[in-house]
Structure 1
Amino acid sequence: MKALLVIDYTNDFIAPNGALTCGDPGRKIDDRIKELADSFLKNGDYVIFPTDTHQKNDPYHPETKLSPPHNIKGTSGHDLYGKTAEWFNAHKDSDFVYQFDKNRYSSFQNTNLDNYLRSRGITELWLSGVCTDICVLHTAIAAYNLNYSLTIPKDAVASFDQTGHEWAMNHFKNCLGATIV
């Protein structure tokens, strides 16, 4: 079995007025993420939404020192963005669609993702979303270390840093053995 992970595709990371927006590169992948989600669900595969989640003014979270407040639980910035959000809202009650909060770059750190995947026999992960060189990268490294097969659709990931994006794409392929499509 396989699953599509739609990582951090929220208003704060994608919308023009988002607290840490990727800008146009992030918005340009919305249609492709929706197409992938449709395809996965149609084929009986899983679509999973690991979503960066913070508490306001959390002095213990390391990102508080690195970034402005973003993805605060209960705010519109934490909500999914665009057509991807519409897709999620239309399918969120499916047994094959799952959203969960995460509090670190990796979708595996401090979450039940590995148990969720293994209990469903999922061995192959397709990673989409943002940012290619931050949360997608850290999720890919953790997935590699847990022996998941990785595929990265290059037209379904984005970053605000094109140099970091390109570096991460090379890292996925050359260091993690991911298939790039």
Structure 2
Amino acid sequence: MSKKLLVVIDMQNDFITGALGNAQCRAVVSNVVKKVNHTDADIVYTLDTHGEDYPDTQEGRKLPVKHCIKGTPGWELIPELEHIQEKTHFEKNTFGSTGLAEWIRKQGYTEVELIGVCTDICVISNAMTIKAFNPEVEISVDAGCCAGVTPQSHKTALDAMKGCQIRIEEWMLKNDDKMLTSDRQ
């Protein structure tokens, strides 16, 4: 029997409209919301989580833009996804969450799909971490519900994941919000 999980990666204000927001990330918000609202899978989400000491961390020295500081508006889920706040979530102060990967193993999921931002940093890191902890779980990423720092880095990350046996899909919701389709690659 299949047990499905949808993982929503870092759909936080700072990645959409805040300190690290970009047009690509803003463009996938409606796809992400539709996917969340129409899935039959269980849902969890991640929150990129930093403290006030962010500038003193390795990431902060390499990416000197304060973002996702716990308790700030930028750290919160985007308003369009506030309805999933009560679901299980994983705070992470690095790109991939080993806690999430271990939790997936313990819960016995057989299929895991990832959506969110940024494809080239946190989506790929979580996909690879989940794969390392759960080598027999079918892992997929919905390209139409993800965005990278740039369109090219998004594509590069998708190609890298595909090479590591992570299925890349493009999910589409028809205008009547009833017919779901998937173009598997």
TM class by smaller structure: 0.7 to 0.9
Distance in 2 between residues matched to 1:121 and 1:37, nearest whole Å: 21
User: Number of residue pairs matched?
Assistant: 165
- TM-score w.r.t. length of structure 1: 0.83
- TM-score w.r.t. length of structure 2: 0.81
- Counterpart for residue 81 of structure 2: 84
Higher strand share: 2
Task: Map 1:64-75 onto structure 2 (within 5 A).
Answer: 64-67=60-63, 68-75=65-72
| 1:172 shift after superposition | 1.6
Structure 1 moving runs of 4+ over 6 Å: none
- Counterpart for residue 100 of structure 1: 90
Partner SS for 1:80:
coil
Amino acid at match of 2:114: L
Q: Which fold has the larger relative contact order, with Cα–Cα distance below 8 Å and residues 6 or more apart in sequence?
A: 1
How many percent of aligned residue pairs carry the same amino acid? 30
Partner SS for 2:97:
coil
Quick check: 1:55–1:73 contact (8 Å CA) kept in 2? yes
| 1:59 shift after superposition | 5.8
- Counterpart for residue 163 of structure 1: 152
Distance in 2 between residues matched to 1:74 and 1:123, nearest whole Å: 34
Alpha-carbon displacement from aligned partner over 1:56-88 (angstroms, at most 9, x marks no partner): 124653211122111000100101113123x32
Gaps of 5+ in 1: none
Distance in 2 between residues matched to 1:62 and 1:176, nearest whole Å: 30
Please tell me the root mean square deviation across aligned C-alpha atoms, in Å: 1.7
Gaps of 5+ in 2: 171-185
Distance in 2 between residues matched to 1:137 and 1:30, nearest whole Å: 18
Partner SS for 1:106:
coil
Quick check: 2:12–2:74 contact (8 Å CA) kept in 1? yes
Moved more, 136-145 or 170-179: 170-179
- Counterpart for residue 119 of structure 2: 132
Task: Map 1:1-181 onto structure 2 (within 5 A).
Answer: 1-15=3-17, 18-21=18-21, 23-40=22-39, 43=40, 45-58=41-54, 61-67=57-63, 68-85=65-82, 87-89=83-85, 92=86, 97-108=87-98, 112-146=99-133, 147=135, 148-181=137-170
Distance in 2 between residues matched to 1:35 and 1:121, nearest whole Å: 26
